A and B are shown apart, each in its own frame.
Chain A
Amino acid sequence: MVKFLYWNTNRKPLYTEICALTRAHDIDVIILSEFADSPASLIEHLNSGGAQDFQYAPGQCERIKIFARFSSTFLTPKAEDDYVSIRQLKLPSRQEILLVAAHLPSKLYQSEDSLALQCPEFARTIMEQEVKVGHQRTLLVGDLNMNPFEKGVVSANGLNAVMSRQVASRKSKTVMSRQYPFFFNPMWAQFGDRQDGPPGTYYYERSELVNYYWNVFDQVMVRPELMDRFDGKKVRIPTKIGETSLLFENGRPNNQDFSDHLPLLFEVEL
């Protein structure tokens, strides 16, 4: 089982919190966006006080930083741009997967339509890499700056990510003779008060007629080929690290001391 932590750290030096989460949940791969500090400093913190053996797995995408508790040579960059880093995760004697880490542009700076229009290009890059490695064991994680229900995420020529394993198990959808592979997106289950956790990963409020307040911008999703190795029910949005709450008393993310985004925890059987 390989355990992952994803966190948009909002440019805060959250060394203590990242280390505590990593130790408490026995994390193997840490993926960060908006991490404004030096990777070397985080490695130093991660590896102090015990044989953690974390390494920085460098790439050219400045928005994404990846650290792993194994040799960084097992996380080879395959394709990148300013917003996405696609790595081949190939551990000895394990099934290799494609790891797509993304931090897409913020809606504060691009319209919802502009963001949605970038998703076909993003999806196409993923598909090109899947053809190249010869499989679709693909896991996508990151701050998409879109909710699971938004056009760029759900449209067939975007990420084509659906809420149901049963639908995703059909593998692809055909529209006007073109086939588009599905992603299974378990993050739909993370909305609102019904589930055991916060109502989303990011809170945003302004004086507009349409406002969701809680958003699930931070998402993890898998291709059908990886669904048997990925339990969507084990995706968690932690709100506490030990005794420390990541939330204000009103239940919203404490963006003063920590990040305005909550972290994501998930695991994959490789």
Chain B
Amino acid sequence: MANAIPDLWPEIEQSKVVPPVAILREQAAALGNRTGHLLEGRVSTRTDGDGNFIHTFYVVAPTLDNYTYGLFSISHGADTYPVSAPSLEELHLPDYPSTIPIEPLRIRSEKELLDYLRAVLNSEKTMRIVGSLLNQVKSAT
């Protein structure tokens, strides 16, 4: 009779790294709180065929028949970092692209992700979209 095959796993501990999706969901919840829930944040996650997780951050206007604006997407593999994200330059583009190819950013830590999100959420474009939606919501009620 063959010997029992041993369990080779060590003690399994959950990673202490805060996953990017948790940080995004926190920001989504904060948008609802900041706007008295006239606008909500939503994070949708999918996987691509190459084992990457893609998280998209939406601004939702529940009273405008759940109108949604897809603000940005970030992605990462099974390891939560590095995170790939559109460069701030790309996010700030007007209605046509610049003449320089734009490489995605590689975000290597939770701190870098927080800095990135702060910049995106405070950007002129985000403020324009959120402000305009808030105005429409208030005009419609």
- The yes or no verdict on A and B being binding partners is yes
Interface contacts (Cβ under 8 Å), in number, total 54
Tell me whether B70 and A125 are in contact (CB under 8 A).
Answer: yes
Tell me whether A62 and B73 are in contact (CB under 8 A).
Answer: no
Chain A hits for B68, CB < 8 A: 78-80
Tell me whether B96 and A34 are in contact (CB under 8 A).
Answer: yes
Tell me whether A33 and B95 are in contact (CB under 8 A).
Answer: yes
Within 8 A of A (CB), among B59-76: 65-71, 73
Q: Does A20 contact B (CB under 8 A)?
A: no
Tell me whether A60 and B97 are in contact (CB under 8 A).
Answer: no
Chain B hits for A91, CB < 8 A: none
CA distance A33 to B91 in the complex (A): 18
CA distance A149 to B49 in the complex (A): 20
- A-side interface residues, number (CB < 8 Å): 27
Q: Which of B73, B102, B129 has the most CB of A within 10 A?
A: B129
Cβ of B63 to closest chain A Cβ, rounded Å: 13
Q: Does A204 contact B (CB under 8 A)?
A: no
Tell me whether B67 and A77 are in contact (CB under 8 A).
Answer: yes
B36-52 vs A, CB cutoff 8 Å, 1 = contact: the mask equals 00000000001011000
Chain A hits for B91, CB < 8 A: 82
CA distance A132 to B70 in the complex (A): 16
Q: Does A108 contact B (CB under 8 A)?
A: yes
Tell me whether A63 and B56 are in contact (CB under 8 A).
Answer: no
Tell me whether B69 and A80 are in contact (CB under 8 A).
Answer: yes
Tell me whether B102 and A80 are in contact (CB under 8 A).
Answer: no
Tell me whether A62 and B70 are in contact (CB under 8 A).
Answer: no
CA distance A103 to B73 in the complex (A): 17
Q: Which of A33, A36, A80 has the most CB of B within 10 A?
A: A80
Tell me whether A109 and B97 are in contact (CB under 8 A).
Answer: yes
Choose one: A35, A109, A121; the contact of B46 (CB below 8 Å).
A121
Among residues of B, the one whose C-beta sits closest to the C-beta of A132 is B66
CA distance A100 to B116 in the complex (A): 30
With A80-B69, A124-B46 as given contacts, are A60 and B96 in contact (CB-CB < 8 Å)?
no
Q: Does B24 contact A (CB under 8 A)?
A: no
B94-116 vs A, CB cutoff 8 Å, 1 = contact: the mask equals 11110011100000000000000
With A108-B101, A109-B101, A109-B102 as given contacts, are A63 and B96 in contact (CB-CB < 8 Å)?
yes
Cβ contacts A to B, 19 pairs, < 8 Å? A11-B96, A34-B95, A63-B95, A63-B96, A78-B65, A78-B68, A79-B68, A79-B69, A80-B67, A80-B69, A81-B70, A82-B70, A106-B97, A117-B48, A121-B46, A121-B54, A121-B73, A132-B66, A157-B49
Q: Interface of B with A (CB < 8 Å)?
A: 46, 48-49, 54, 56, 65-71, 73, 91, 93-97, 100-102, 129, 132-133
Which are the 4 A-B pairs with shortest beta-carbon distances?
Answer: A81-B70, A62-B95, A63-B95, A79-B68
